[in-house]
Amino acid sequence: MTMLNNVAVVVCDELSAFELGVLCEAFGTDRAKDGFPRYDFAVCSPGGRPVTTKHGFTVQPSHDLDRVEFADLVAVPAIPWAHVPEEVLAQLRKAHERGARVMSVCSGAFVLGQAGLLDGRACTTHWMYADELQRMFPTARVDPNVLYVEDDGVLTSAGTAAGVDLCLYVVRQEHGSAIANKLARRMVVPPHRDGGQAQFVQTPVPISRSDSLEPLLSWMMEHLDEEHTVEDLARRAHMSPRSFARHFRSETGTTPHRWLIGQRILLAQQLLEEGDEPIEAIAARCGFGSAATLRHHFARWRGTTPQAFRSSFRGRRAA
């Protein structure tokens, strides 16, 4: 995998500004003086012509579609898919064929579908459109229950805000947890949302409410190395275990134990990237009872072993 440094966003008429904005914020803002990577970033349209938005103003892109050929990452925000020009679809196909990654936000998945990039692949979109996406592209494996998913260089994400999560996922892969967490902090979004998490959450971007579980979640993050039972956690939240489980799911989209494991894996990943501690020690610091348990979950959640992850991350940095 080559280091990400060139990003192209493809836009057409009736564009949604927020989805474009998410991509601009993540990849098109120069934060180099604060230690962030800088990308060669371009918004492209057919012929470089202005495109309309759904909000009554127009956008003047900086480039035409030829620019897409230089990108390592090609992103498609939400645009109506009915009349996307064939030349756009062709560029997306070419990009994927030469090994660039192709991502979409929200209904942008339909554009990838029309380009044939979803055939046989796991993908997602906003839950409102999931059925329609599945009908239009029968061989796609649409999962309406995740925030984002990557399959063979094709990345799709659910409604608007999940696009932020997908961008952070890409940054985490490319530059590591430290940068990704810092970017999340800068954008004031939670760094801790895994792709497999449910779309149906009460507060996608958790607002601090007095009865929110957020203080408990923060506390758990600070104490990942300790053991936690749901009975324990429920007591801490002043609830019965049953009610706690229900509130936990409605706020986070997952269950207490799965959330814990997800956070532990995230921490383990960061420690593997940054230090040279033995796996055994990392397992202990993350709250896994043994290195074997860490390996077990790492395989399930990341698809590799901790060792392999560490060396591939090192290799990518050196390159």
Give me the residues that bind DNA (CB under 7 A), please. Answer: 228-231, 239-243, 245-247, 249, 255-258, 261, 288-290, 292-293, 296-297, 300
Nearest CA-CA partner of 11 in 48, 39, 40: 48
Q: Least Å distance between CB 145 and DNA?
A: 11
Nearest CA-CA partner of 255 in 302, 190, 215, 197: 197
Tell me the C-alpha distance between 310 and 75, whole Å.
28
Residues with Cβ within 8 Å of 207's Cβ and at least 6 positions away in sequence, in order, are none
Q: Least Å distance between CB 232 and DNA?
A: 7
Q: Least Å distance between CB 38 and DNA?
A: 39
Q: Least Å distance between CB 234 and DNA?
A: 8
Q: Least Å distance between CB 256 and DNA?
A: 4
Nearer to DNA, 96 or 297 (CB): 297
Side-chain half-sphere exposure of 70, counting CA atoms within 13 A: 13
Residues with Cβ within 8 Å of 195's Cβ and at least 6 positions away in sequence, in order, are 146, 147, 148, 149, 150, 165, 166, 169
Given a contact cutoff of 8 angstroms between Cβ atoms, the answer to whether 42 and 112 are in contact is no
Q: How far is CA 55 from the centre of its chain?
A: 26
Tell me the C-alpha distance between 236 and 220, whole Å.
11
Tell me the C-alpha distance between 119 and 108, whole Å.
15
Q: Least Å distance between CB 250 and DNA?
A: 9
Nearer to DNA, 248 or 313 (CB): 248
Given a contact cutoff of 8 angstroms between Cβ atoms, the answer to whether 136 and 125 are in contact is no
Nearer to DNA, 156 or 254 (CB): 254
Nearer to DNA, 65 or 234 (CB): 234
Indicate if the alpha-carbon torsion angle 171, 14, 119, 297 is positive or negative.
positive
Nearer to DNA, 184 or 233 (CB): 233
Instruction: List the structure tokens of 141.
Output: 């494996």
Nearer to DNA, 211 or 276 (CB): 211
3 state DSSP class of 317: helix
Q: Least Å distance between CB 311 and DNA?
A: 24
Instruction: List the structure tokens of 133.
Output: 């996406």
Give the count of beta carbons closer than 10 Å to the beta carbon of residue 203. 13
Nearer to DNA, 94 or 257 (CB): 257
Given a contact cutoff of 8 angstroms between Cβ atoms, the answer to whether 126 and 151 are in contact is no
Q: Least Å distance between CB 287 and DNA?
A: 8
Nearer to DNA, 191 or 241 (CB): 241
